[in-house]
Structure 1
Amino acid sequence: MEKGLKVLLVASESAPFVKSGGLGDVVGSLPKALQKKNVDVRVVIPRHRVIKNETMYGVEFLGEFDVYLQWRKQRAKVLVKPGEVPVYFIENDYYFSRGALYGFDDDNERFAFFGKAVLDMLAMLDFYPDVIHCNDWQTGPVCMYLKEMYNKVTEYSKIKTLFTIHNLQYQGRFSLDTMELLGVSDWAYANIEFYNTVCYMKMGLVYADYISTVSGTYAQEIQTPEYGYGMDGILRSRSDRLCGILNGIDFTANNPETDGFIVKHFSAAHPEGKAENKHALQKRLGLEEREVPLIAMITRLADQKGVDILAPVLDEMMRRDVQFVLLGTGEPSYEYTFRSLQSRYPGRVSANIFFDEALAQQIYASADLFLMPSKFEPCGLGQMFSLRFGTVPIARKTGGLADTIRQYNPETKEGNGFLFENYDCGGLLWALDEALRTYHMGREEWAHVVKNAMLCDYSWESSAVQYIALYEKLKEN
């Protein structure tokens, strides 16, 4: 059956090739769900040097061309990894053969080059999608170039753009001389300038045909000064072209019945194996091997993730009879805070200041409770992973956390976690105590919460349907 809808996802990262966070997970998993629903979907990312070599087996060279940024001329090579979802790579060693993805003085030039190369690649491939789905500030130039430079070319004039905000806090703001680099006319200045900078996020918000973000609640929050990071006015002006579609997770790769990283498989119908995983994790991490609530946190150590309200009450938390496991890296002061906590509570705290995928899966499968006290959380994937493995979340009611977690009610036996609203230490401790009170009601009561968590369906199935409806709407208009 011929596929009627053609979509190109453009991003700066994608699992399993390279990722720095949730964006890479989304770009790695959403296209698979779209492909299963008969969408001709393809992905393009830069060929970063840090991409794992083992993921590049079978990659083919397709061709190359020059990309001009005013007087600058750079060569773009196009590679492809064939498959049900073809993944293209824009290769240029000058821009992308570096030890990290972002954070360089010439990020403005690097991603302007990438945006132009993506659009030039379409002519080389003779593939003109109905929708180019751009993701975060690194792809803002794609939306801008398409409208300012390429729309007079017949094949490009019908292409629509969707721009997805994964985190509005990161905006890609650069000095005003970037205008000259971009090579667009002066009248475009108002669409690009943001507080005396050139802003790539603003390009996406202004030039895209439609804007989405990664949860319904976050779509509302970013239209307020508190969460808008200066862009709330722009977003309110485009509210009729803004929606929230919740991210999903790969249910096949994250399945407690088949996961290759965990000690014992289990399911919502037969959850007994979770206890064996807990005992194995306690042994591995040097925790006391006894029945006690095990609280976990897998996170970037930063204020956004709520570490600033957790750090002052860590000792208060440990006064309860609990164990605590941390996995993650971040701000050095917070790394020291958790190392120090482990030294004060040997056998009860395990601070793992690194990231390891296998250990992460073991923690999701083993812990009783999962902490996500985020200041804001556009969508959040951690709570979805924890729910999938029956590890009950304690979270702040914001963004995607508010859209995926329901307060457990012992009377009705409904709900899958514990929420607090005010962003402060007191709210966090209140939610923790509600969770522990329910845990100590007995195994039968706790089993209700765990089962409710495991029966949640946050796969890509429903989200993919919503994206397809949006693509079709854009194609028809």
Structure 2
Amino acid sequence: MKKILFVASESVPFIKTGGLADVVGSLPKYFDKEKYDVRVMLPKYMCMKEEWKEKLTYKTHFYMDLNWREQYVGILELVHEGITFWFIDNEYYFNGFTPYGDTKWDIEKFAFFSKASLSALPLLDFRPDIIHCHDWQTGLVPVYLDNFRYGNEFFRGIKTVMTIHNLKFQGVWDTKTVKDITGLPAYYFAPDKLEAYKDANLLKGGIVYADRVTTVSSSYAEEIKQPFYGERLDGLMNARSNCLSGIVNGLDYNEWNPATDPMIEHHYDASNFRKEKVKNKLALQEALGLNQDKKVMMIGIVSRLTDQKGFDLIAYVMDDLCQDAVQIVALGTGEERYENMFRHFAWKYQGKVSANIYYSEPISHKIYAACDAFLMPSLFEPCGLSQLMSLRYGTVPIVRETGGLKDTVEPYNEFEKKGTGFSFANYNVHEMLAVIRYAEKIYYDKRRDWNKIVEQGMSRDFSWKNSAKQYVDLYESL
């Protein structure tokens, strides 16, 4: 029986700000319980929903030094869907209204969390074979583990995996402060360890000390070795390339299932989407005040409204796009200029554009179920889950060929009638508009081909089963 511990800053259903939470909450359920005992360590945030907080049971507590401060560490437990979750409790650190805030404070908070997660293990009588760390918030786990090995038999021989969900976020602060926060010996703050460009970098520490480094798609694993995607760590990524691999994220196929989804009006599957899917479109048009027309091509966007997601491209062509026979439905929040851009076009083209500048899980499900196409022109995309949801719901993705988008969406080839979506290669407005209009042409003029694309997309399997198998191979290789 192999013991695996996931350490992460968020997980569904307890706390979620992004795709990281989906991975940490879903992946552990997909390992063979006879061979793998997978448990998860999380912070106990004050901002978690009450319904979860009241289910937690007290396990133990102790006091721990974080350099010169002595801190209380409480450990609470909850078994959810067969997986044991442990929560590190400390009100001083985890009391905010959101999981993350000011960078310096976050660095101290997650330094505490990383050290506490390791220090709790002997008291929980759980000695993992492998600790699987996620993103910069847990970057110090492999570093502290290295430090603990000198003089504590318990920690010797534990292997670590560091998964990068988005290399843009690294946990960087000045070395003197981080040294003071962590209490780690000065020797860890050298350029070949935690230091990068004169500052301390928590993610870099995790990458240097982990036994294996993974990221969330194989294209992204290649891309981050180049300066453009490497966020100033491309040199390190090349140095560690023999230990670096990409495993694409999966989707929880029980939660995201158009045949049973409680959040959508009309259920359908690959056999009857031709008749049933369009009913969701009519329902959404009515709900959002768009022109009622089952024939019009509806394009969905569900995203953080940021540059990373390609909204500068969309902003350039919105006027052109609105001249076409399409409806556009956007859901999400982000940079003010993009929020206002969508509001403006919803006002200018009433009945054609719907701007929903907030986030709502039920509305996102309705958009995936109702739309004909889904637009995702990301500048970079480590994995991306929206295109997987689109494929599952028979909504044809239109994406830029980067990271996980390139790995999961097969571009339509009209000669072989193959493909599950449409894609363009260069980050360029004209290329994006051309491919959207090509998709419109297929939608309106070659309806049988379009339906074939939908069908092929719906038959692809991007459930967690596939990804879990690759993680098993990785764990076994350790």
Residue deviations 1:220-243 (CA, integer Å, cap 9, x gap): 000010100100000100100000
**Distance across 2 between alignment mates of 1:360 and 1:239:** 37
Alignment of 1:240-251 (within 5 A): 240-251=242-253
SS of the residue corresponding to residue 333 of structure 2 reads coil
SS of the residue corresponding to residue 169 of structure 1 reads coil
Q: 1:156 maps to what in 2?
A: 155
**Distance across 1 between alignment mates of 2:345 and 2:368:** 21
Given that residues 213 and 245 in structure 2 are in contact (C-alpha distance below 8 angstroms), is that contact kept between their aligned partners in structure 1?
Answer: yes
1:73 matches 2:70: yes
The change in CA–CA distance for 1:449 and 1:37 in structure 2 (over 3 A counts) is farther
What is the TM-score with the length of structure 2 in the denominator? 0.97
SS of the residue corresponding to residue 63 of structure 2 reads strand
Identify which range, 405-414 or 450-459, moves more after superposition. Answer: 405-414
Given that residues 35 and 85 in structure 1 are in contact (C-alpha distance below 8 angstroms), is that contact kept between their aligned partners in structure 2?
Answer: no
Q: 2:208 maps to what in 1?
A: 206
Q: 1:370 maps to what in 2?
A: 374
After TM superposition, give the deviation of residue 411 of structure 1 in Å.
2.5
Amino acid at match of 1:33: Y
Residue deviations 1:22-42 (CA, integer Å, cap 9, x gap): 001111111111255742000
After TM superposition, give the deviation of residue 151 of structure 1 in Å.
5.0
Residue deviations 1:359-410 (CA, integer Å, cap 9, x gap): 0001001100000000000000000001000000000000000000111122
After TM superposition, give the deviation of residue 183 of structure 1 in Å.
1.6
The change in CA–CA distance for 1:268 and 1:151 in structure 2 (over 3 A counts) is farther
SS of the residue corresponding to residue 89 of structure 1 reads strand
**Distance across 2 between alignment mates of 1:39 and 1:360:** 34
Q: 2:91 maps to what in 1?
A: 93
Given that residues 56 and 81 in structure 1 are in contact (C-alpha distance below 8 angstroms), is that contact kept between their aligned partners in structure 2?
Answer: no
Given that residues 63 and 79 in structure 1 are in contact (C-alpha distance below 8 angstroms), is that contact kept between their aligned partners in structure 2?
Answer: yes
Amino acid at match of 2:464: W
Given that residues 7 and 40 in structure 1 are in contact (C-alpha distance below 8 angstroms), is that contact kept between their aligned partners in structure 2?
Answer: yes
**Distance across 1 between alignment mates of 2:150 and 2:313:** 49
After TM superposition, give the deviation of residue 442 of structure 1 in Å.
3.8
RMSD between aligned alpha carbons? 1.1
**Distance across 2 between alignment mates of 1:417 and 1:280:** 24
Amino acid at match of 2:378: S
Q: 1:360 maps to what in 2?
A: 364
**Distance across 2 between alignment mates of 1:118 and 1:451:** 45
Given that residues 95 and 110 in structure 1 are in contact (C-alpha distance below 8 angstroms), is that contact kept between their aligned partners in structure 2?
Answer: yes
The change in CA–CA distance for 1:431 and 1:152 in structure 2 (over 3 A counts) is farther
Query: Aligned residues, how many?
Result: 471
Amino acid at match of 1:286: G
Amino acid at match of 2:237: L
Given that residues 61 and 78 in structure 1 are in contact (C-alpha distance below 8 angstroms), is that contact kept between their aligned partners in structure 2?
Answer: yes
**Distance across 2 between alignment mates of 1:151 and 1:30:** 32
Given that residues 35 and 41 in structure 1 are in contact (C-alpha distance below 8 angstroms), is that contact kept between their aligned partners in structure 2?
Answer: no
Q: 1:279 maps to what in 2?
A: 282
**Distance across 1 between alignment mates of 2:359 and 2:35:** 36
Q: 1:146 maps to what in 2?
A: 145
Q: 1:44 maps to what in 2?
A: 41
1:27 matches 2:24: yes
**Distance across 1 between alignment mates of 2:149 and 2:51:** 36
After TM superposition, give the deviation of residue 149 of structure 1 in Å.
2.5
Residue deviations 1:201-252 (CA, integer Å, cap 9, x gap): 1011101011000000000000010100100000100100000001001001
Amino acid at match of 2:140: P
Residue deviations 1:64-92 (CA, integer Å, cap 9, x gap): 11121111111011001124111111111
**Distance across 1 between alignment mates of 2:22 and 2:91:** 25
Q: 1:54 maps to what in 2?
A: 51
Amino acid at match of 1:137: W
**Distance across 1 between alignment mates of 2:430 and 2:377:** 12
Residue deviations 1:180-208 (CA, integer Å, cap 9, x gap): 22122222111111112111110111010
Q: 1:288 maps to what in 2?
A: 291
The change in CA–CA distance for 1:216 and 1:37 in structure 2 (over 3 A counts) is farther
Amino acid at match of 1:325: V
1:430 matches 2:427: no
Alignment of 1:278-427 (within 5 A): 278-290=281-293, 291-427=295-431
Alignment of 1:82-231 (within 5 A): 82-83=79-80, 84-104=82-102, 105-177=104-176, 178-190=178-190, 191-231=193-233
What is the TM-score with the length of structure 1 in the denominator? 0.97
**Distance across 2 between alignment mates of 1:397 and 1:442:** 24
**Distance across 2 between alignment mates of 1:57 and 1:471:** 34
What is the identity percentage for the equivalent residue pairs of Structure 1 and Structure 2?
46
SS of the residue corresponding to residue 279 of structure 2 reads helix
**Distance across 2 between alignment mates of 1:17 and 1:136:** 18
**Distance across 2 between alignment mates of 1:100 and 1:460:** 28
Given that residues 323 and 348 in structure 1 are in contact (C-alpha distance below 8 angstroms), is that contact kept between their aligned partners in structure 2?
Answer: yes
**Distance across 1 between alignment mates of 2:137 and 2:15:** 15
**Distance across 1 between alignment mates of 2:211 and 2:68:** 30
Given that residues 148 and 155 in structure 2 are in contact (C-alpha distance below 8 angstroms), is that contact kept between their aligned partners in structure 1?
Answer: no
Given that residues 5 and 130 in structure 1 are in contact (C-alpha distance below 8 angstroms), is that contact kept between their aligned partners in structure 2?
Answer: yes
Q: Return 5+ residue gaps in structure 1 as ranges.
A: none
Q: 1:267 maps to what in 2?
A: 269
After TM superposition, give the deviation of residue 445 of structure 1 in Å.
2.2
Amino acid at match of 2:203: M
Which of 2, 12, 17 aligns to 1:15? It is 12
SS of the residue corresponding to residue 394 of structure 1 reads strand
